[in-house]
Amino acid sequence: MKNIKETMLDKKKWAVVGVTDNKDRYGYKIWKKLKEHEYIAYGVNPRLDELEREKIYSCVADIEDDIDVLNMVVGPKIAMGVLDEAKQAGIKHIFFQPGSYDDEVVEKTKKLGLEYLVGDCIHATLREME
């Protein structure tokens, strides 16, 4: 049986909440690395309209595609609100980057019935696969 990380890696449509145009930040690096590994990666950031000629969404609800995995690259306060959006959008998997969660966020994720991963980094995982 697959573990949650393997299950998430098999999913091809990801949303990166906290994408940024700052190439030194993980919000950019993760979005870019997902694309390099042939994932469909949607960026979510209310302060950006586009990044590298791709539409960036102001919130998860604006994405018209069905998202398989939501990658959190925001602080816990923002993550709390995004969890409700994820649930409403039918997203079942949440990959929390380090610093994007606390006990309260994890508890809410459980209450919403979402599968999640903490203590890992998708960027590092994908780099190891290269």
| Cβ-based neighbour number of residue 59 at 10 Å | 14
Q: Convert the pLDDT of each residue in 14-31 to its tens digit.
A: 999 999 999 999 999 999
Name every residue whose Cβ is closer than 8 Å to that of residue 22 and which is 6 or more positions away in sequence. Answer: 28
Name every residue whose Cβ is closer than 8 Å to that of residue 59 and which is 6 or more positions away in sequence. Answer: 44, 46, 85
CB 18 within 8 A of CB 82: no
φ, ψ dihedrals at 113, nearest 5°: 75, 25
The one-letter amino acid at 88: Q
Quickly state the pLDDT bin for 2 (edges 50, 70, 90): confident
| Cβ-based neighbour number of residue 79 at 10 Å | 27
Answer whether residue 83 shows pLDDT above 70.
yes
- Model confidence, pTM: 0.96
Q: Convert the pLDDT of each residue in 31-65 to its tens digit.
A: 999 999 999 999 999 999 999 999 999 999 999 99
Supply the pLDDT for residue 74. Answer: 98
Supply the pLDDT for residue 51. Answer: 97
Bridge-based pairing state of the strands 40-44 and 50-51: unpaired
